[in-house]
Amino acid sequence: NHTDEAELLDLLIVGAGFSGMAMLHRCRAMGLRALAIEAAPSVGGTWYHNRYPGARVDIQSLEYSFSIDEDLQQEWHWTERYASQPELLRYANHVADRLDLRRDIRLSTRLEEAHWDEATATWHAQATNGSRWRARFILMATGPLSAPSSPHFEGLDNFGGRVLHTAAWPHEPVDFEGLKVGVVGTGSSGVQVIPQLARRAKSVTVFQRTPAYVVPAHNGPLDPAWEASIKGDYPGFRARTRKMRGGFGSEHPPYMVSALDVAPEERQARYEERWRVGGFAFLGTFYDTMLDERSNALAAEFVRDKIRATVRDPQTAAALCPDYPIGCKRLCVDSAGYYETYNLPHVSLVDLRKSPIERVTQRGIVSGGTEHDLDVLVLATGFDAMTGTLMRLDVRGRDGATFREQWQHGPLNYLGLMTRGFPNLFHIAGAGSTAAFTNVIVSIEHHVDWIATCIAWMRERGLASIEPGEDAQAAWMDYVLQTAKGTVMLGCNSWYLGANVPGKPRVFMPLISGYPAYAERCAQVAARGYEGFVLE
């Protein structure tokens, strides 16, 4: 049997983005034999692939960074409040070097298959380059937003110009000088790339299906005094951060007041104050923005007023005004003057709700009976989020279970960390966990800690396998849904609901309980001997 020759690991980690690297670091500390394989020729995951102009994190970098090593967080210096993709990729590489992770990372090594072997209670995995491993545990650190989604426009293959997807951006620089550029998609990626394209291109035509709510970041060079004050007590800052529902923003916690309980002038003043802070802090102007439709509508109208005050052409401004609850799709945090971009004479907006895309021709896009002549088409159309990557992989659990079949009606899981049918397989920062609604690094560090503690606990007891029990998994799925029901999150077509991918089941995938409540539940499960799991 050729698999007998394969190297035996305690843990095989699939992916060397932030999750995979954090897990590898933790395994080292525990004396586990772990290896990370990464399909890309570089570490960094998201920040390796999403290299379109303007790509940037939407959480402040002093928060969106690892706390796992004090020297690491002291030494690293972010140049801006919200770091750009090149800086984030440099950081990922620095982490790999600083924590000496590279000797256990295999780059350009794509997982071809991973199969559970019942007899030996190990995973047998093979990469496309022929390398093979056996591992007691496997971690799918493959990312929640790693399967780019492209629309199936009729005629797209016939387009005579170049087609670029923001999530699979070319590595050599693209010069847009003098080109007529079309952009489809106005989520975070579209909102970031559009102002950058407008700086170079001859014309930019934005094809918008759903307008985003865009709030200013007020990005800029990192204030040295602020950096020093945080570095003076980084552990304290991290601890305060972990008490926040979103795992960030401890300096601007939500006001515990309802928008419905204050006079209009005061309400306006408070919105303005949070608008000046920038970023997601706006959603915390009142505690019930995300919980009460009426409160939400007031915040939404405030943003629409900002859009109308910024965009000069009233028709364009009207098309840019969203009509669904604010925060229901992830807010877009803007460092480049997104709304102002529409005041430029060579930038135009096509409202696909009025003039849908009919087809793509050799020359461009036909929508509403008009052919828009384009040299380049940029697809900022997002991802088959949270489930797409695992469902595309050849991973087979007990009795040949696949994610494609187990998740066909939505991503079943327990604690967001394991799925029944896949013993000793952990997945991280995806469906059923708080990752999507938090500073993802906080959730990643939590998951890594929980998984490591679980593996150590099993080792001490000589246990061979762990897998969610059926009832516990069903109860968790219900908890995820019930938690979303208490909010405005079901009131729009977001990727959280799979609504951006045609045919995907409409299931609310991430957990919106807030980080502290989630961490507490996970800790309780562990303290009760991994309650709800089947251990063998």
Cα 362 to chain centroid distance, Å, stands at 34
Residue 389 found at the interface with ligand NA7 (CB under 6 A): no
Q: In angstroms, give the least distance from the CB of 396 to ligand NA7.
A: 29
* Binding residues for ligand NA7 restricted to 432-461, rule: CB under 6 A: none
- Using the contact rule CB under 6 A, the part of the chain among 73-81, 180-188, 244-252, 283-291 near ligand NA7 is 180-188
Cα 443 to chain centroid distance, Å, stands at 11
Q: Which residue is nearest to ligand NA7 (CB)?
A: 187
Q: In angstroms, give the least distance from the CB of 443 to ligand NA7.
A: 13
Residue 109 or 438 with smaller CB distance to ligand NA7: 438
Q: Which of 15, 44, 182, 187 binds ligand NA7 (CB under 6 A)?
A: 187
Torsions phi, psi for 414 (to 5 deg) = -125, 125
CA distance 385 to 17: 16
- Binding pattern for the stretch 344-383 against ligand NA7, x by CB under 6 A and - elsewhere: --------x---------------------------xxxx
CA distance 166 to 340: 22
Please tell me the count of residues contacting ligand NA7 according to CB under 6 A.
21
Q: In angstroms, give the least distance from the CB of 332 to ligand NA7.
A: 8
Cβ neighbours of residue 517 closer than 8 Å, sequence gap 6 or more: none
Residue 190 found at the interface with ligand NA7 (CB under 6 A): yes
Cα–Cα nearest to 410, from 493, 497, 476: 497
Residue 328 found at the interface with ligand NA7 (CB under 6 A): no
Q: Which of 45, 161, 185, 364 binds ligand NA7 (CB under 6 A)?
A: 185
Contact at 8 Å (CB) between 320 and 311?
yes
Q: 357-360 and 347-351 as β-strands: parallel, antiparallel, unpaired?
A: unpaired
Contact at 8 Å (CB) between 211 and 404?
no
* Binding residues for ligand NA7 restricted to 200-239, rule: CB under 6 A: 209-210
Residue 144 found at the interface with ligand NA7 (CB under 6 A): no
- Using the contact rule CB under 6 A, the part of the chain among 34-42, 69-77, 187-195, 333-341 near ligand NA7 is 187-195
Q: Which of 42, 142, 186, 219 binds ligand NA7 (CB under 6 A)?
A: 186
- Cα 133 to Cα 29, 58, 67, 197, distances in angstroms: 21, 37, 31, 44
Cα first-last separation, the chain: 25
* Binding residues for ligand NA7 restricted to 481-510, rule: CB under 6 A: 493, 495, 500
Residue 209 has a CB neighbour count (10 Å cut-off) of 18
Contact at 8 Å (CB) between 205 and 350?
yes
Q: Which residues bind ligand NA7 (CB under 6 A)?
A: 145, 151, 166, 184-190, 209-210, 330, 352, 380-383, 493, 495, 500
